[in-house]
Structure 1
Amino acid sequence: MRWKASEFWKNASPNELLDFFQSIEQGADLKSLADHMLVEDEFCDLVFEYLWLLRSEEGSKRFLNDENLTPELLMKFIYFGYGKQFLSGNFDSNSYFLQVRTLFGSGQSLRILSLAEEMDRDPTLKIHLLSNLDPQTWEAYFDILEEKNMTMQTLLGIFSNLRENEIRKILLNSHTLYYYLRMMMVSGIKKSNEQTPKEMENRMRLVSILESIRVWETFCQNLGERFDFKKESALSPNKRDPDRLSLVLRELTKVPSLDREDVLVYMKSNGAVIDVWEETTILSALGNFDRDGKYF
């Protein structure tokens, strides 16, 4: 159990630490380590320090998604990183949660969401974790809501604490969350005369945001009827139909510069933009257009 030796943590190189996280996630001693992290704060912070430094590595991500790590430990890790980013300056919590959510899979996100009190204190984190859920875990989350006697209004109410631009950014970056919210608005909302004025206000605001994103949903659907995204993705970039990117560029030119990357993420998740090459090309062309009035 070399993790119990303090000298290991003091002297290990980044490669040795990465090897450690990769080996322990395969089952060797992980539960024992996780239990020790729960009772020894200083040791826990030390492990988190290295996990944070190596967070982009697949071995670290597998470690963070192991079920031996309790939801409480995962929350501590999230706020450990939050503190690191905050101290670095130029901090935006929404951007941080957009980044940190990518470290967790759907199942692990659901486990964190089960911490009801902690989630209620941080609606921004809650929404980002919800955006990680796949259809199967969404069903499991609905079961959690029922067990805790929470209504759909309670769930939708978390959006009332966020600004419209924050909600729009989150939904553009999560096609699944957008889809499920659309479904909730249709099937899970009380009749108008059963809602409080505040609930009605929240609902109308969210409807407005969803409708603004639906414009892009419709655009992607129409583009999909004209171009076969699957066939296009099988071709090298120089063999793809240039008209598709021309149409995307034309529409994105109408979007404020600050919103373009988020809309582009949404288009990519819907297949209208195929890969990183197209994404980079589009952003470069838009930059040229803003500066010189022409794409290329």
Structure 2
Amino acid sequence: MRWKASEFWKNASPNELLDFFQSIEQGSDLKSLADHMLAEEEFCDLVFEYLWLLRSEEGSKRFLNDDNLTPELLMKFIYFGYGKQFLSGNFDSNAYFLQIRSLFDSAQSLRILSLAEEMDRDPTLKIHLLSNLDPQTWEAYFDILEGKNMTMQALLGIFSNLRENEIRKILLNSHTLYYYLRMMMVSGIKKSVDQTPKEMENRVRLESILDSIHVWETFCQGLGERFDFKSEANLSPNKRDPDRLSLVLRELKKLPAQDRGDVLVYMRGNGAVLDVWEETTILSALGNFDRVGKYF
């Protein structure tokens, strides 16, 4: 097992390390590596150092989503990266967790969420991992809540320590989480006389945020009734109906510049904005409008 040789970690090139992370997942050697990482903190940090440098590579992502890596190890990796980013300066925890959640698939996110005590200490991370869940893993998460005798009110309580703009940003960047929360608020949780004034205040605040996003949901649905998103996605940009982007520009123009990017991400998640080309074109046009009063 070459990873047990310290010289490998000292002398390996980035390509050799990437090859290692890509190949070890295919054998039982990974479980042995994970066990050694749990037992030897210094060795664990060494592996994380290289894994962090190569985090954007597909091989590293496959490694991070292997079942042999325990939720405890994954949490260590998350906070290892947190420390690296914090020390680099100009740190934004929301931006960091948006980056982190992109490294994990739905099933791995659920495994991390099973660490109830750790999750309760970091509601921001918890919300970002919840936003990674697909419908199937959402059902599994509800089973976890029931198994721990946790109520839906407790789930909604994780939003209480976050600022309104943070919650809105997270929900706009995950239409699946927005959808499930809205369904819970509409049909799953009734107003209760047992709610404390603080719980009621948090509920009203969350309802207000969800309602503000529902405006964009309705807008996207309206566009979907007028334009065939699927057909347009198969066309080159210059063959698509320009009226759709004109309508998007007109609505986004009404927003403060700092809010437009997140709403645009939401629109793309709902199919109203088709690809990166459209995103960058829209943002560029809005920037031109702010500076000189015209889009192009």
Same-fold call, TM > 0.5?
yes
- Counterpart residue number, 1:66: 66
Amino acid at match of 1:161: N
1:155 and 1:8 mapped to 2: Cα distance?
A: 45
Superposed, 1:84-123 pairs within 5 Å as 84-123=84-123
Question: May I ask how many residue pairs the two structures share in their alignment?
Answer: 296
- Counterpart residue number, 2:243: 243
Cα deviation, 1:187-223, whole Å, max 9, x if unaligned, reads 2223342322111111100000000000100000001
Q: CA RMSD in A?
A: 0.7
Identity %: 90
Aligned-pair CA distance for 1:27: 1.9
Aligned-pair CA distance for 1:28: 4.7
1:103 is paired with a residue of what secondary structure? coil
Superposed, 1:115-134 pairs within 5 Å as 115-134=115-134
- Counterpart residue number, 1:203: 203
Cα deviation, 1:155-181, whole Å, max 9, x if unaligned, reads 000000000000000000000000000
- Counterpart residue number, 1:179: 179
- Counterpart residue number, 2:136: 136
Does residue 255 of structure 2 align to residue 273 of structure 1?
Answer: no
Does residue 263 of structure 2 align to residue 263 of structure 1?
Answer: yes
After superposing the two structures, state which structure 1 stretch, 188-197 or 100-109, moved more.
Answer: 188-197
Superposed, 1:206-245 pairs within 5 Å as 206-245=206-245
After TM superposition, what 4+ stretches of structure 1 lie above 3 angstroms from structure 2?
A: none
TM-score scaled by structure 2?
0.99
2:224 is paired with a residue of what secondary structure? helix
Aligned-pair CA distance for 1:25: 1.3
Amino acid at match of 1:218: T
- Counterpart residue number, 2:20: 20
Gaps of 5+ in 2: none
- Counterpart residue number, 2:42: 42
2:160 and 2:190 mapped to 1: Cα distance?
A: 17
Aligned-pair CA distance for 1:119: 0.1
Gaps of 5+ in 1: none
- Counterpart residue number, 1:190: 190
1:240 and 1:27 mapped to 2: Cα distance?
A: 47
Cα deviation, 1:247-269, whole Å, max 9, x if unaligned, reads 00111111111111100000000
1:294 and 1:28 mapped to 2: Cα distance?
A: 60
1:188 and 1:79 mapped to 2: Cα distance?
A: 34
1:165 and 1:196 mapped to 2: Cα distance?
A: 24
Does residue 77 of structure 2 align to residue 77 of structure 1?
Answer: yes
2:36 and 2:107 mapped to 1: Cα distance?
A: 23
TM-score scaled by structure 1?
0.99
Cα deviation, 1:118-152, whole Å, max 9, x if unaligned, reads 00000000000000000000000000000001000
1:191 and 1:90 mapped to 2: Cα distance?
A: 41
Amino acid at match of 1:36: H
1:190 and 1:272 mapped to 2: Cα distance?
A: 32
2:256 and 2:49 mapped to 1: Cα distance?
A: 38
Amino acid at match of 2:206: L
2:271 is paired with a residue of what secondary structure? coil
